[in-house]
Amino acid sequence: MLTRRGFVKLVGGTTALASFGFGCGDNLELTRGVFFDEHAWATIDIATGLLLPGADGARDCVAVRYIDTLLSAFDSPIPAIFAAGPYSGRTPFPDDHGQPTKTFPTNDFARYLPLPRLQELAWRIRIFGSAATAGGDFNDAMLGATKGWRDLYTAGVAQLDVVAMTLEANTPFRFLLDPANQELALDTVASDLPEFYRALTDHTIEGTFAAPEYGGNDTLRGWRLAKYDGDSAPRGHAVYDASLDAYIDRSDQPTTQPSPGAVSEDFSDDVIALLTISALGTGGKRFF
């Protein structure tokens, strides 16, 4: 597993992270979720900001809300795992020439799809663990029990506080004032509890860049950061013109050539570093 410290080295050391500024996106107002209480919410919120810091990073995208939504997915009659479709309501219907109208579809993403039996079993094992899932221990004898994400986060929050109090007496992680101590605490817990750290890394990236209906990517900040225009249905990028009986490219967002002005060189060094962190954190490689 790529450790937090090794992961930082791959993107140029601590200077890559420091360039974002730890003050950006800080939100000291305590909030709570469905699974996370105020303590856990604040702790995980800060931790996500250490992984993807800066303006429009994980804290501004409220990645912690995505994580809480995922961990409490089965608190709803239909588990909040897979959003329905086909439309999010963000893009209007086209007219006969493929041009946008003023009529928008409903947000189908706001409702979730029922899970087939085996999918539900698999997701319950991920979230609750194999020991706490009826029928979920079928591989335990060979592979060992699967630790659920809920247990990993509970242990992670507690361990972050334990480590923080060795750095500043009687100070839980969420109240550490020195960013260097926050970094050190998370580095230490990444080594102590690698399964928690891997889950936190994956979920922070997902919460920053996934569709906002899943809880994160608040006000589409993550998509704007990545220069991604999001879901384009029902109009799409290649639009149907009934008078020509053919699909044609949109001039502003074509599919057969680069979008006007949208070249990779437009990314600042900070954004390139942040996207590199996201790619490496999910097991990808850097080719530039």
Q: Is residue 8 part of a domain?
A: yes
One domain, residues 214 and 240? no
Confirm whether 288 is domain-assigned.
no
Q: Residue with structure tokens 């663990």?
A: 129
Are 222 and 235 within one domain? no
Considering the domain architecture, whether residues 137 and 41 belong to the same structural domain is answered as yes
Residues of the chain with pLDDT under 70: 1-30, 259, 261-267, 281-282, 286-288
pLDDT of residue 5: 47
Cβ-count burial 58-80 (b if 16+ within 10 Å, e if not) = bbbbbbbbbbbbbbbbbeeeebb
Same domain, 199 and 222: yes
**For residues 20 and 53, is the Cβ–Cβ distance under 8 A?**
yes
219 and 155 in one domain?
A: yes
- Whether residue 208 is contained in a domain is answered as yes
Residue 26 is predicted with a pLDDT of: 45
Q: Could you tell me if 218 and 60 are in contact, meaning their C-beta atoms sit under 8 angstroms apart?
A: yes
Phi, psi of 61 (to 5 degrees): -80, -5
- pLDDT value, residue 29: 56
End of a domain among 227, 254, 282? Answer: 227
Shared domain check, 214 and 168:
yes
Residue 284: inside a domain, yes or no? no
- Is 210 within the bounds of a domain? yes
> 277 CB contacts (<8 Å, ≥6 apart)?
7, 11, 16, 51, 52
168-197 confidence digits (pLDDT tens): 999 999 999 899 999 999 999 999 999 999
| Domain assignment of residue 271, yes or no | no
Residues 153, 189, single domain; the answer is yes
Q: What is the pLDDT of residue 8?
A: 46
The reply to whether 277 falls in a domain is no
What domain range is 204 assigned to?
Answer: 4-75+116-227
- Whether residue 153 is found in the same domain as residue 178: yes
Residue 238 and residue 129 share a domain: no
What confidence score (pLDDT) does residue 261 get? 66
- What pLDDT is attached to residue 258? 72
Report the amino acid identity of residue 159.
Answer: Q
Q: What would the pLDDT profile of 143-170 be if each residue is shown by its tens digit?
A: 899 999 999 999 999 999 999 999 999 9
Please check whether residues 25 and 13 belong to one and the same domain: yes
Positive/negative CA dihedral, 78, 80, 85, 89: positive
Which residue, of 172, 198, 227, is where some domain finishes? Answer: 227
Dist. CA 34–CA 16, nearest whole Å: 34
Let me know whether 175 and 236 are in one domain: no
> Would you state the pLDDT for residue 1?
43
Establish if 287 belongs to a structural domain: no
Total domains in the chain come to: 2
User: What is the Cα–Cα distance from 271 to 20, expressed in whole angstroms?
Assistant: 9
Cβ-based neighbours of 85, under 8 Å, separated by 6 or more: 108, 109, 233
Distances 20 to 16, 55, 146, 224 between C-alpha atoms, Å:
7, 7, 36, 16
Across 166-190, b (16+ Cβ under 10 Å) vs e yields ebeeebbbbebeebebbbbbbbbbb
Looking at the fold, whether 213 and 88 belong to one and the same domain comes out as no
